[in-house]
Amino acid sequence: MSRSDKVWLLCVVVISHIWAPVSGTGAETLKLEKGARIVLLGNGLGSRMMQFGHFETEIHSRYPAHQLTIRNMCDEGDTPGFRPHSGRPSPWAFPGAENYFPKLSEVKDLWGSGHVGYGDFESPDQWLTRLEADVIIAFFGYNESFAGADGLDHFSAELTAFLDHTLAQQYNGFSSPQVALVSPLAFEDLSAIHGTPDGRIENVNLALYTAAMESVAGKFRVPFVNLFATSQLWFDTSPDPLTRDGALLNDSGYRMLAPVLADQLFGASSSPSRHNRASLLAAVMDKTWMWHKYYKIPNGVHVFGRRHRPFGPMNYPDELKKLQQLTANRDQAIWALLEGTSFNLEAADLQTHVLPAIETNYKPSNKNGSLEYLYGQDALDSFEVPDGYKIGLFASESEFPNLANPVQMAFDNAGRLWVATMPTYPHFKPGDPRPADKLLILEDTDHDGRADKETVFADNLHLPTGFEFAPEGVYVAQGNHLVLLSDMDGDDRG
């Protein structure tokens, strides 16, 4: 028998063992008390839930009177023991996690960091204590599966150490948390559409790591959800793709996942939700947006990182306090919607912490320059250019107010100027309206050398630091996301 035949035989045996999605660990489902605080930990499967909201919406709809607090701490690449952060000196999730990885001195990157951040961003345990976690839902196994069969023992030991540590804590101040493990998904074969892998090798490894997770969960008698088997069945039968690229669920995939995952974690729902699903989802997404700005605040290098001092301590504690209160207000808005009562969110937001006025530290001088800003012809008159050169004014914020805080520009093949603007730089100020940064198209339709037409290609962005043209659209770097914006109907709007 060849090595490849042995691998496929192993895969068949593993899959046949784990095909049933119901946990075989002997553990009961999670029990939620009124006021329970649920925290999601782990990898990108959980992190991307913040972009869609279906799973949180499903949980709330099943427990309308419980006033649940749900917080998502997931981040792409996180493992049970390794969770690096640029604002945290240690990448280890718990004491002893370093024993399952190479020494940091052996894995230094180009800049010599070795996955070590700088700052005072709190550790995972500190965050879980701050959030008073009663229930932890942990998504692991996908990133780790790239180590293949050779990494199985390492992963099982790391996951065991995570459960040993986590179940010994009292994040809520009085009891150990309930913990459930969720397996990775299968890999969907979209090779004919995107040229991505067909998933055969990936699914061999993912099946192995799912089985390893189930084994560890069984030893601790904690709930385990086998999404690998469930999703493999979906991918084999769905007429439309459920992922973007074989690995990352799209909106349809997350919509399908939500009730299945809730059933496995909390038990099957006995009665349909009576609530307006669209309104509940909108409320959840509003809360999630505010939580994201708190937990993953943009400009973190100043908030808690290497540029925190000298001005960060004066500016950001008040903003973080206000963001925390704004997020809590949105929990109350969700509860009121579920209970059919009224809650004036706007009025509640006005009662949150008042941000103090911060005086600028900028002092005009010969070195620092002047505060005087020149517009139009005054600016042109101030330039000195070599013979043979000329500077012309193509567009200014006097004619196009949306040009405030331009950060990148590029001409397309039609001679139109595209500009990304960031009036919300360095980040959303708590209490202000939602960010409305833009990607603009400025066009000279009468060929006089000046723009006379503006089109807003994309609106309501937040910190679009750059963009790049491509045949399929425009790639935009926005905060911690890289997004593709496409004009589907030729109206110059993404």
Looking at residue 247, its pLDDT comes to: 96
Tokens 């090595």 correspond to what residue? 3
Looking at residue 139, its pLDDT comes to: 98
**What average pLDDT values come out for the chain (494 residues) when binned by 10 residues?**
38 38 68 97 98 97 97 97 92 95 72 72 97 98 97 97 98 98 98 94 98 97 97 96 96 98 91 82 98 93 86 89 98 97 97 91 86 86 92 91 94 96 91 95 95 96 95 92 92 92
Bridge partners of 137, per DSSP, are 40, 180
Cis peptide before 102 (omega within 30 of 0): no
Looking at residue 487, its pLDDT comes to: 94
The domain spans of the chain are 3-274, 379-485
* DSSP 8-state code for residue 485: E
Bridge partners of 249, per DSSP, are 243
Domain 3-274 has CATH 3.40.50.1110: yes
Environment class of 127 (CB within 10 Å of its CB; exposed 0-12, middle 13-18, buried 19+): middle
Rounded CA separation 82/162 (Å): 10
Looking at residue 6, its pLDDT comes to: 35
* DSSP 8-state code for residue 420: E
Looking at residue 175, its pLDDT comes to: 97
What is the pTM assigned to this prediction? 0.90
- CB of 40 closer than 8 Å to CB of 288: no
- Residues ≥6 apart with Cβ < 8 Å to 63: 32
- Which is it for the CA torsion 283, 285, 288, 294, positive or negative? negative
Looking at residue 26, its pLDDT comes to: 65
The beta strand positions in 28-177, using DSSP E, are 37-42, 69-72, 135-139
- Residues ≥6 apart with Cβ < 8 Å to 130: 122
Most distant CA atoms of the chain, gap in Å = 83
- CB of 48 closer than 8 Å to CB of 61: no
Rounded CA separation 233/186 (Å): 9
Pairing state of beta strands 224-225 and 178-182? parallel
